[in-house]
Amino acid sequence: MSTAVFPGSFDPVTTGHVDLIRRASRMFDRLVVGVLVNSAKQPLFSKEERVAMLREITADQDNIEVSSFEGLLVDFVKEQHADAIVRGLRTPGDFEYELPLAQANHKLSVQADTIFLASAPEYSYISSSAVRELLRYQADISGYVPETVLRYMREHGVVSN
Ligand code: PNS
């Protein structure tokens, strides 16, 4: 059985992430979405909230699991008995950032091979950091995040409409 890990901070998960997760899930028997817990950063959403939102969004797909992890990605990859890491590329800048990361992960563990998926062009400007910035100015983020996330934000008073 082939397994891949799709890691990220997902703070919050965007429509671009969801598109990549769905496409990656068609390439592997099992896809584990790994939510990074970075204790050095104060996230917009807690680990539990990010995991819950991702679980709800991917509930219709049996071969997708969502878990959180702390520490090195390669250790999470081993723990999940995964064959690959999948990362999305939106821009050439993403590739410049991702290539050394992929190489460092490969050096840490030969099991941790990274596969890059090109994002669909309609999502290439979307990022979690852009969403957080827009929220700071109470700007409209519809289209940036899935309906589940918008609903969650309304329920928790992060957005008002
Ligand atoms: O969504 P992000 O924030 O771009 O995801 C980054 C992520 C989670 C893939 C990356 O920060 C990561 O793997 N962090 C875990 C620590 C690690 O293994 N770093 C690589 C060693 S150089």
> Can you give the pTM of this predicted structure?
0.97
The model's confidence at residue 41, banded by pLDDT at 50, 70 and 90, is: confident
pLDDT digits (tens, 9 = 90+) for 94-107: 999 999 999 999 99
In terms of Cα–Cα distance, which of 132, 60, 54, 127 is closest to 97?
A: 127
Question: Confidence band (pLDDT; 50, 70, 90) for 89?
Answer: very high
Tell me, using a 6 A CB cutoff, whether residue 9 lines ligand 1. Answer: yes
- Is the beta carbon of 159 within 6 A of some atom in ligand 1? no
Q: Whose CA is nearest to atom 11 of ligand 1?
A: 8
| Active site (catalytic) residues | 17, 41, 90, 128
pLDDT in tens, 150-161: 999 999 888 886
What is the 3-class SS of the chain, one letter each residue?
A: CCEEEEEECCCCCCHHHHHHHHHHHCCCCEEEEEEECCCCCCCCCCHHHHHHHHHHHCCCCCCEEEEEECCCHHHHHHHCCCCEEEEEECCHHHHHHHHHHHHHHHHHCCCCEEEEEECCHHHCCCCHHHHHHHHHCCCCCECCECHHHHHHHHHCCCCCC
| Closest-lying ligand 1 atom to the alpha carbon of residue 34 | 8
Whole-number Å distance, alpha carbon 73 to ligand 1 midpoint, is 6
Question: Quick check: CB of 36 below 6 Å from ligand 1?
Answer: yes
Question: Rounded to whole angstroms, how far apart are CA atoms 50 and 67?
Answer: 10
pLDDT at 111: 86
Residue 102: its pLDDT value, please? 98
73, 78, 86: residue to mutate for ligand 1 pocket, most atoms within 8 A of CB = 73
Nearest-CA residue for atom 2 of ligand 1:
8
Q: Is residue 118 within 6 Å of ligand 1 at its C-beta? A: no
**Ligand 1 close to Cβ of residue 7 (< 6 A):** yes
Mean pLDDT of 144-151: 97
Amino acid identity for residue 107 in this structure: K
**C-alpha angle 43/124/30, rounded to 5°?**
70
Rounded to the nearest integer, the mean pLDDT of the chain is 96
